[in-house]
Structure 1
Amino acid sequence: MTIARPTGIPDHLPARLTISLWDFSWYTRTQEGEPFADLDVAFDEAVERGYNTVRICAMPFLLFGEHGIDTTALRMVSMGGEVGQRTRWYDADGGATIDGRAHLLELFRAADRHGCSVILSSWEYQQSPAFLEGPEWYEALAAVPADERHSVLAAAMSDLVQFVKDEGLAHRIAYAELHNEVDLSRLNLAGGGSDTDPFWPQRASLDHAVRQVQERHPDIHATWCYGIPPHLDMGAVPDVGQIGHFHLYVYGVLGALERFAGVRDTEGFPSEALRTLLRRDAPPVSQYEGKVEPWRLAATGVSTTMFYTYDWVDTAKWDLWLYEHYGEWREAMMQAIDDRLEVFARWSSGHGVPMVVGEGWVGYTPLLAEFEDGPVGQAIAEHALERCIDLGVWGAVAGSNSAPQHPGWDNVEWQQAWNRRFLAGQIDD
């Protein structure tokens, strides 16, 4: 079965987007020996695996916001010492100094050389400022009044798109998201929202901000991005999005393990259950605390207890627990994928816009854990991708761990096979 190009997608963009999630890693992991030391090599590897699109934090506020920060010599660092070195997305060596705008152009030029598209986003109200040597980026973001953050970010994203246009590279923009996971970032405080009600309170602010970008650049699709989309209340999603961009992490058995071990607990940490999963060389938590500057922890949103868990868990024991308990959760996880994809597809179809799954499928695991990249995790991803094909989804990730900064990048043949199937709209061999 071959699926037609979605209505309204410009002819210069792919009929299907096979997406690799480069997030903020494309500028935090640029030292020699790191995955983005040479962007041409990273794109070579992506194309080899069947990807035609990368999704990035484009740093719009940092590069184009009104804050006075010198972006020509941005020094990127690690979280501090050994902290984060076995935590997914945080195992940066640090030490690189980049010119922000020049680095963005380098990425677009490399994408152009390799025939790839770029989804523009921002992780600035979530994680990316934590990797800068000093707190100025984080402090500038925090200084923006909550009810102005959407609009300020929209203005910066609009200026960034114009910058790319001025360099003759606009044809490489797939579309622009206002921000990654607006419901799970500090943007959700805008308009009187809260962590417990991240959807309706910011709806008007989101609507206005996305329209800002669309009005500045009517030739570039602009939208929002939800981390845990309100599939039971899709009316909370603004109608203005020109792409239905959703994330779908099912957690299921992974959520059960987190609760069993108390991974995100703040009291009585580490629990006795977690102690049974730790490496033998795990240090006491007391020796681990205080190694990350408080502002850096605030900028990333990852707690000391979470870093401790992901850095010091014995991943063989972690994976074994998941395998032993997966049977209890399998049906619920598969049903969650089916139900949510169906809801997202209906919303997108009803609004006459293409649908993209920008992240998925199981959830956040320690860097060296192999459950999601192993046979069970791949089977979950395959089920989700088959449903995406069946529903006519425009773009999808093979998995969020399928990117140069993750060990799952080494599953070359699996990525090639499923990207080919997705591009062909092929459900059955």
Structure 2
Amino acid sequence: MTERYLGSGTIHPDERPLTGEVPAHLPPRLTITLWDFSWYTQAGPGQPYADLDAAVADAAALGYNAIRICAAPLLLAGGLGLDDLAESLEIEGLGSSPAGGYFGQRTRWYDTPGGFRVDLWRRLLALFEAAERHGMVLILASWEYQQSTAFAASPRWFHAIDAVPLSERYAVLGRAWDALIDRLTEAGHRERIALVELHNEVDFSILPALADGGAAEVVALRARHPDLLVTASYGKPPHLDMHSLPSGLGAAQFHVYSYGVLDALQQRIDIRSEGSAGFPNPPLRELLRPEAPSVAAYGRAEDWKFAATVVTDQMVYGYDWIDPQAWDSWLEHHYPPYEHVMRREIAARTIAISRWARWQGVPAIVGEGWVGYTPLHGTFEEGPLGRALAEHGVRTALDHGVWGVVLCSNAAPHHPMWQLREWQQGLNAEVLAAPAPPRAS
């Protein structure tokens, strides 16, 4: 008996096969842990990445086979006069607060106390060597025009890349990647590269539209390195207008966030803006810790650090001083009316990405997702409601031929979610057990 829909004779095709072939030396499925820039900004004594080999081994033990990082190509190979800085990069984070502690201390990704130096090229080589020992591959991206430079003690890195005219930034990135890929190849690590991204989230970075020079750089890099997958990523691809994306991308590495109830809370407390009169507003004050200092007493990081990143001073203050239990309570209480639309949005966006990738004949990857940006100790996304959304996203991705997927953007050593070990092991096993795709020659 044939399955039909309202009398139609059309049978929907099986979308589980991969949207595009992947090189034969790479894993048939990628299960990705997002280490971003934190693998070098949180690498001091006692910090999550102090022992790089142990961190890679732990990720492998949880079932991951891919790590997505900022490889800092502009710092390491951009020809911008930063070689001495790269050899001894002082990590500071956002700096010390006059109220005690440091800015970003309870803000996810920005909880960087600093206080150490790193030779970034040697550290990158050490990461590749650890990946080889533990059977991992690496997705290489750049966050430099989004936030990486803000964690340095010196503004030189930021000032150097900011001095590049907007119209030339993609070209400078392309040359830097070309040089960095060559250096990694000479070091014997080429086959550990799963994907190269010209830049992370080009739509949320200090860059022109990808069509204005970026896509051409991707095409040029692909031509120079035809054995590698090369692309650029979007934080919010145009899900209702995917045909408007530029052609030439070697992979559909796009992100799927469904803010839903989280967006309702963020708008209510006006936490992502800057320069708001009367900040913090009354709804935000209701959620703050009793000991929260005033905005004036807490102070503000140096101006150049905010110029170097996409977060605002209101976000840093708010996330640092939110009571996470009050935050979670609000989200959980208001979630029911949003559940259906958030689940539908995750599915629809994932399917849109996979169908665009199939049309282009390239692999699809969801390198970040699923709910959104929360305070470090907020547990909505780590809890049962958020995990259910993540599972829904992962399974939708597998059902529609997505090659690589994160379990959650928060599933990494620098987030509390890393302690949910059984959940990660189980879901990673599910990803890796998906049917093996055809292999490229």
| Smaller-chain TM-score bracket | over 0.9
Residue 239 (structure 1) aligns with: 247
Q: Give me the whole-angstrom Cα distance separating, in 1, the residues matched to 2:381 and 2:19.
A: 30
Pick aligned residue for 1:73 from 61, 65, 88:
88
SS of the counterpart of 1:186? coil
Task: Name the amino acid aligned to 1:75.
Answer: E
Query: Does the 8 A contact of 1:203 with 1:236 survive in 2?
Result: no
SS in 1 for 2:289: coil
Q: Secondary structure at the match of 2:87?
A: coil
> For 2:409 and 2:204, how far apart are their aligned partners in 1?
17
Match of 1:361 among 357, 370, 375: 370
2:327 counterpart of 1:318: yes
Counterpart among 290, 300, 303 of residue 294 in structure 1: 303
Which amino acid letter does the alignment assign opposite residue 67 of structure 1? L
Deviation digits for residues 304-356 of structure 1, max 9, x if unmatched? 11101000000000000000000010011011011111111110000111100
Q: What's the counterpart of residue 198 of structure 1? A: none
Q: Aligned-pair distance for 1:216?
A: 2.0
Q: State the distance in 2 between where 1:264 and 1:322 align.
A: 17
Say whether 1:179 aligns with 2:188: no
Who is 1:98 aligned against? 118
Within a 5 Å distance, the mapping from 1:15-414 to structure 2 comes to: 15-69=28-82, 70=84, 71-81=86-96, 82-187=102-207, 190=208, 201-265=209-273, 266-290=276-300, 292-414=301-423
Judge conservation of contact 1:19–1:52 (CA < 8 Å) in 2.
Answer: yes
Q: So what's the TM-score if we normalise by structure 1?
A: 0.94
- For the residue of structure 2 that corresponds to 1:370, the secondary structure is coil
Q: Distance in 1 between matches of 2:243 and 2:399?
A: 24
Query: Secondary structure of 2:202's partner?
Result: coil
Distance 1:40 1:52 in 2: 14
Kindly tell me: are residues 404 and 53 of structure 1, through their superposed partners in 2, closer, same or farther at Cα, counting changes over 3 Å? same
Secondary structure of the structure 1 residue equivalent to 2:49: coil
Alignment match, 1:194? none
4+ residue stretches of structure 1 with deviation over 4 A? 1-7
Percent identity among equivalent residues? 48
Q: Deviations over 1:332-387 (max 9, x none)?
A: 10110111111111100001111000000000000000000000000000111110
Q: Report SS of the residue matched to 1:183.
A: helix
Give the equivalent residue in structure 1 for 2:8.
none
Give the letter for the 1:128 counterpart: S
**Aligned residue pairs: how many?**
413
Q: TM-score, normalised by structure 2?
A: 0.91
Deviation track 1:116-153 (CA, whole Å, cap 9, x = no partner) reads 00001000001100111110000011100100101110
Cα contact 2:331–2:380 (8 A) shared by 1: yes
Aligned-residue offset at 1:205: 1.1
1:193 alignment counterpart: none
3-state secondary structure, aligned to 1:405? coil
How far apart in 1 are the matches of 2:398 and 2:24?
20
Q: Which secondary structure state, in structure 2, belongs to the residue aligned with residue 276 of structure 1?
A: helix
Which secondary structure state, in structure 1, belongs to the residue aligned with residue 432 of structure 2?
Answer: helix
| Displacement of 1:98 | 1.3
**Could you list the runs of 5+ residues in structure 1 that have no partner in the other structure?**
191-200
Deviation at 1:425, TM superposition (A): 1.6
Report the alpha carbon displacement of residue 263 of structure 1 after superposing the two structures with TM.
0.9
State how far apart, in whole Å, the 1-side matches of 2:58 and 2:19 are: 27
What is the CA-CA distance between 1:78 and the residue it aligns to? 2.1
Q: CA shift at 1:88, angstroms?
A: 0.3
Residues in 2 aligned to 1:419 and 1:161: alpha-carbon distance in whole angstroms: 29
Structure number with larger C-alpha Rg: 2
The whole-number CA distance in structure 2 between the counterparts of 1:87 and 1:317 is: 16
Contact 2:52 2:127 in 1 (8 A): yes
3-state SS in 1 of match to 2:335: helix
Kept in 1, the 8 Å contact 2:19–2:355? The answer is no
CA distance in 1, matches of 2:197, 2:240: 23
Partner of 2:4 in structure 1? Answer: none
2:395 and 2:360 map into 1 onto residues whose CA distance is 23
Please report how far the alpha carbon of residue 260 of structure 1 lies from its aligned counterpart in structure 2 after TM superposition. Answer: 1.1
Q: CA deviation at 1:2?
A: 12
Which amino acid is 1:79 matched to? L
Deviation at 1:395, TM superposition (A): 0.2
For the aligned residue pairs, the C-alpha RMSD in angstroms reads 1.4
In structure 2, what residue type is equivalent to 1:51?
A: Y
Give distance in 1, aligned partners of 2:335 and 2:20.
Answer: 39
